[in-house]
């Protein structure tokens, strides 16, 4: 009996059962993309873990553990640290503003023109290729446990993800994420323990592993800094986190669930790195890093057990892909369509546009997955460009009242230009392009803002300080409508 196929078929049936059930609760656009702002701790925490733990944090970490060793843990330290600090500091303000998207913050504070470039960046430069990356990851898993060619694995992943997203929306994503997270965490822990035993025990691993893989600083300070910057600042403006905070039924639930989810995700990444290090004893040098995790699971476990762990990872990739589709669809339906095409659109029209946007982004992501060879490289570029362009303006909207629309627009465009030029120049001094992008963005935002005046369509305030001055609005109760100081 092919246990892998049994688990996959069972998973798909369960998935669509949950989608159909969730579809009964989807009557408005808010139901579809935000679960009507009523999600509890478990579905939010599970959704965060399943979205973060996918091709990057699990498959990628195991592969990098195989290649780089413990040094790669700098990425988990970075995304966990930046997210926890940002959520603890800005979480109540994000909830109070009831923000659907990051560009919505730009539109409210600096006027709708300032939100257009961020909406295009997040919706197309980040969300779409990231969705395509999940399809490639799903295909890799399916190819490793079946005889399905890579092309058809990508197409199957696309079809299942699109149907799942169109039917159930956020309610189905959150609850399936929550359940499969338990299996993912158990699978990683058991795989590490059994994998170490499989290659001869802890002593054998330590003795036979090259020293560079066990030394945190073996890649050098500059490379550690590069990895820290690539995976850190971006998470301040990661729209998925903002949406989970807003979708929570209370502020306390949202903040505690997101913080817990990221801490667990960081620990999962660390365990995955150790799995990659242990796998050095099982696979020859030159093995494709992207196959390390799945190949190790297949080698260590019989199909009846390994199939469960493999399908849970497949599920994480699928629902992660769904989260990226939903998030990008909000950018299109809210920030672009409602913001520019039809500002008076009613809820049902927004719901239809959201679903159409899901389909459009899914097709675009499919094309990227099928024809772009270095999709991981595109993902890292997307992280860099998004962080460089958005971090400084977001922090200005939260903390600096003197920031102007002109300063923000110039800062956003200049950051993209600086990031691109630095990359085209071959990353001088070995420094990743995100560093000059962040510096250019911050400096120009401050300088241009001080030299220009506020526009008429700006809401001149620093939201973080405004909300602190009115603490009564931050009571731990469900958010019932948009709030602005």
Tell me, what CATH number does 180's domain have?
Answer: 1.20.1730.10
Number of domains in the chain: 1
- Please tell me the predicted confidence (pLDDT) of residue 26: 59
239 in any annotated domain: yes
Q: Give the helix/strand (H/E) hosting 50.
A: helix 41-52
Both tokens assigned to 234: 């971006």
Q: Considering the domain boundaries, does residue 238 fall inside one?
A: yes
The alpha carbon of 157 is separated from its chain's Cα centroid by a whole number of angstroms, namely 18
Q: Which domain holds residue 63?
A: 3-376
Sequence-separated (6 or more) residues with CB below 8 Å from residue 135? 154, 157, 158, 161, 321, 365, 366, 369
Does 411 fall in a domain? no
Q: What is the DSSP letter of 60?
A: I
Return per-residue pLDDT of the chain as tens, 485 residues: 577 778 778 877 876 776 666 666 656 555 555 555 567 888 888 888 877 876 567 788 898 999 999 999 999 999 999 999 999 999 999 988 888 789 999 999 999 889 888 988 888 888 888 888 888 878 877 877 777 888 888 898 888 888 877 776 666 666 666 667 777 788 888 889 999 999 888 988 888 899 999 999 999 999 999 999 988 999 999 988 888 888 888 899 999 999 999 999 999 999 999 999 999 988 988 888 878 888 888 888 887 787 777 777 777 777 778 778 877 878 888 788 877 888 887 777 877 887 888 888 889 889 988 887 665 667 778 888 999 999 999 999 999 999 999 999 999 999 999 999 999 999 999 999 999 999 999 999 999 999 999 999 999 999 999 888 765 454 454 544 444 44
DSSP state of 225: H
Domain contains 49: yes
Q: Report the pLDDT value the prediction gives residue 455, as an integer from 0 to 100.
A: 92
DSSP 237: S
What is the structure's pLDDT at 146? 76
318 belongs to a structural domain:
yes
The whole-number pLDDT of residue 105 equals: 93
Going from the C-alpha of 472 to that of each of 95, 254, 411, the distances in angstroms are 14, 18, 34
Q: How far apart are CA 262 and CA 257, in angstroms?
A: 9
Q: Is residue 65 part of a domain?
A: yes
pTM: 0.84
The confidence score (pLDDT) of residue 8 equals 77
455 in a structural domain: no
Q: Which residue has the tokens 């059994």?
A: 194
In-domain check, residue 170: yes
Tokens coding 10: 């069972």
């Amino acid at each position: 009996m092919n246990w892998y196929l049994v688990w996959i078929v069972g998973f798909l049936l369960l998935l669509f059962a949950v989608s159909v059930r969730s579809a009964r609760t989807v009557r408005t656009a808010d139901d579809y993309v935000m679960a009507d702002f009523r999600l509890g701790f478990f579905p939010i925490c599970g959704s965060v873990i399943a979205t973060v733990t996918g091709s990057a944090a699990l498959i990628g970490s195991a592969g990098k553990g195989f290649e780089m060793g413990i040094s790669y843990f700098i990425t988990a330290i970075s995304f966990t640290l930046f997210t926890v600090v940002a959520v603890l500091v800005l979480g109540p303000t994000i909830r109070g503003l009831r923000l659907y998207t990051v560009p919505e913050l730009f539109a409210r504070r600096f006027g709708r023109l300032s939100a257009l470039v961020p909406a295009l960046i997040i919706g197309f430069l980040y969300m779409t290729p990231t969705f395509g990356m999940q399809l490639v990851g799903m295909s890799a898993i399916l190819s490793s446990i079946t005889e399905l060619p890579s092309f058809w694995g990508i197409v199957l992943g696309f079809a299942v993800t699109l149907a799942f997203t169109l039917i159930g929306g956020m309610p189905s994503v959150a609850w399936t994420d929550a359940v499969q997270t338990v299996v993912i965490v158990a699978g990683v822990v058991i795989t590490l323990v059994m994998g170490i035993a499989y290659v001869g025990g802890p002593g054998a691993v330590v003795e036979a592993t090259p020293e560079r893989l066990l030394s945190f600083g073996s890649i050098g300070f500059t490379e550690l800094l590069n990895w820290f910057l690539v995976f850190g600042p971006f998470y301040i403006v990661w729209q998925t986190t903002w949406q989970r905070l807003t979708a929570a039924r209370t502020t306390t639930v949202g903040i505690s669930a997101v913080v817990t989810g990221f801490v667990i995700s960081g620990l999962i990444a660390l365990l995955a790195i150790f799995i990659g290090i242990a796998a050095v004893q099982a696979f020859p040098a030159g093995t494709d890093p992207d196959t390390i995790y799945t190949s190790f699971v297949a080698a260590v476990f019989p199909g009846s057990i390994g199939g469960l762990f493999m399908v849970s990872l497949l599920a994480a990739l699928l629902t992660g892909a769904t989260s990226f589709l939903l998030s990008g669809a909000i950018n299109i339906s809210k920030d672009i369509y409602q913001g520019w095409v039809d500002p008076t659109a009613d809820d049902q029209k927004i719901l239809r546009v959201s679903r159409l946007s899901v389909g459009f982004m899914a097709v675009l992501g499919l094309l990227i997955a099928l024809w772009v060879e270095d999709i991981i490289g595109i993902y890292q570029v997307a992280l860099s460009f998004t962080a460089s362009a958005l971090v400084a303006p977001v922090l200005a909207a939260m903390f600096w009242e003197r920031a102007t629309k002109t300063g923000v627009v110039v800062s956003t465009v200049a950051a993209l230009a600086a990031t691109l030029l630095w990359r085209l120049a071959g990353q001088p001094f070995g420094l990743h392009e995100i560093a000059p992008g962040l510096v250019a963005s911050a400096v120009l935002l401050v300088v241009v803002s001080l030299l220009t005046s506020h526009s008429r369509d700006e809401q001149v305030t620093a939201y973080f300080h405004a909300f602190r001055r009115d603490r009564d609005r931050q009571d731990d109760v469900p958010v019932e409508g948009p709030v602005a100081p």
